[in-house]
């Protein structure tokens, strides 16, 4: 049986080179990787290469909830595509269109909890945060 996947997309009005760098640089990731102003990502480790590993520590600023988003990169094609497997075994990919504006498409295997809708909304909120960050820093 084929596993259900969730797909979220967003259009970003910035050059692909800038988008790629801001999507993958730990300093930038700490700025945009949140769903709202009550969340943050205080720790990011990112070895962006096929076989490299990543860790994003995400949580609420008040410390009531946090989790580590960790995994290993399966494939990295600069400015185009990233696929990875989370420590839990779930798979995901991110595609970057080569047009302007850039369309970012993230597809991932959902966890058992929370609901599929909540997971989709969470990821869409992060994409909106990235869009706002990238477009406000567009050269």
The answer to whether residue 51 sits within a structural domain is no
Q: Outline where DSSP puts E strands in 1-139.
A: 6-12, 39-46, 53-60, 66-77, 81-86, 91-96, 102-108
What's the predicted TM-score (pTM) here?
0.92
CATH of the domain at 83: 3.30.530.20
The answer to whether residue 45 sits within a structural domain is no
Q: Which residues pair with 7 in a beta bridge?
A: 107
Count how many domains the chain has.
1
The answer to whether residue 123 sits within a structural domain is yes
The answer to whether residue 54 sits within a structural domain is no
CA distance 10 to 126: 10
Q: Which domain holds residue 115?
A: 6-38+75-136
Instruction: Return per-residue pLDDT of the chain as tens, 139 residues.
Output: 457 899 999 999 999 999 999 999 999 999 999 988 999 999 999 999 999 999 999 999 999 999 999 999 999 999 999 999 999 999 999 999 999 999 999 999 999 888 999 999 999 999 999 999 999 986 5
């Amino acid at each position: 049986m084929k596993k259900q996947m969730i797909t979220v997309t967003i259009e970003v009005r910035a050059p692909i080179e800038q988008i790629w760098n801001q999507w993958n640089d730990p300093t930038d990731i700490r700025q945009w990787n949140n769903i709202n102003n009550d969340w943050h990502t205080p720790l990011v480790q990112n070895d962006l290469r096929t076989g490299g590993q990543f860790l994003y520590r995400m949580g609420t600023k008040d410390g009531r909830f946090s989790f580590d988003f960790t995994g290993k990169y399966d494939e990295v094609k600069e400015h185009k595509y990233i696929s990875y497997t989370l420590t839990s075994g779930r798979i995901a990919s991110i595609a970057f269109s080569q047009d302007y504006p850039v369309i970012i498409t993230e597809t991932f295997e959902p966890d058992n909890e929370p609901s599929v809708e909540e997971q989709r909304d969470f990821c869409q909120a992060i994409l909106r945060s990235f869009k706002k960050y990238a477009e406000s820093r567009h050269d």
